[in-house]
Structure 1
């Protein structure tokens, strides 16, 4: 487990010892823990003196974005990109925050990419209160997700503009990968928007008026990304269906070609089999032109069958 803390007062952020941060007064204190298991819960219980009803959501294993009023503060869970390799079913790491007047405790179990951005903003003096810190996390998360979601849309645009029957398998893999990622992001973006909206409406003097405006803006941005992910998911389904139809059409064309070849050779096979029987009485068996005559008859039959297929528009379309 790692633990870091900052004391922010008068627009200036100072890194301090986490144990000293617990009892710091004046200004605003942020204590961040990175780790998992009982060791984090023990630190929060023994050193931060938080009650169990706050520690439980801060250390929960399975989490989704949400916001709940707890005592005189609020618990907020947000999801963002991670420096760790995560599964496609759970592609975003969580940051859990318990905020109250003058203090914020945050916990991460996986390395959150947005954490470094937030630390930079804190150290530049851009964070003055708990509301600013939560807004900083929400803004950093959406700023980092935005280009990834745009890339998903660009991938679909390329597939839609260049549908190629010769690259069906490659394009289907790209579309499927895009759809899986969109579904993974949507799973957390929709409740994240709701969590930010709910936080902005919670009563409490620890949230300033400008914090509520910034939270509303962050919620709107999350809502826009959620709508974009929904659009990507639906477009991916349509492109996948189109590629499936192209594949089915390819198979139909090939089956038709095979059937036509079989239909051309079927009467020829019957004729050559009939004339190839080793019995007496086969017409013109002793004539010198018999072989050429049979070949000519086969060519004529083949031409007639092909002409009939063309007239029926089964080939040559």
Structure 2
């Protein structure tokens, strides 16, 4: 919220960005579990004197925030989801600093954003390895905004989900004018890199499900729905008349499947695979039949949309 300072509207926040932390848990059978997180913290607080009066007495040092990430990771003795860790951190900063000296704390809201690196357990000779991991592709993201009152906004997401199908895609009936060169087709490749963000309906930290790894399972469930909708059944697939139509179907399927998700945003660039054609003015050098392509991601089409339930505030 803006404050009037010396005749100006003034807003500020401060925090720590890209705090990298890895956490390993070991069970009694010798199996290891690990995560790697990049954590960003932002505090909304009334530390205006630090800006205008050379008074730092209301500031939580950003180095302290960094150290808190490591301390809280150590305190989490059981494997937990990235969402739960974000809430743990956000609750700490809005409650731990409830008193600064002899006056109430001015930390009113904490914003924690985390990107989870996709380390996946490897399999050797068909068996899951106890302590071996490989780096995957798409990343799991989350943002938890916690107010001193316990009010919560929780968003999760996926970045870098690259998907492609070599057929069952087309694009017809679009506007044509004197600058249009694109031919209509019912046979093309469809490739995109999905970025999705979904908001949970829980409005308080007290309403969060206490089931272990609840949000990890939800993330995997959303990813499966998005991919299943994009590809269709394994034998026959599903036809896509446009990226727009497929995007809408993916978002709708997510909201239909998960009642505690109130809204979803999807960004799906159209990454083009252009059929190769080697020919001269008078002669076709090689005849291709939709089997050799030139992959390109620049320029690419940009397709974005969001769906939310009528009662959602997003």
Larger Rg: 1
Q: Which has the higher contact order (CA 8 A, sep 6+)?
A: 1
TM-score, scaled to structure 1:
0.24
Write 1 or 2 for the structure with the bigger share of helix.
1
TM-score, scaled to structure 2:
0.24
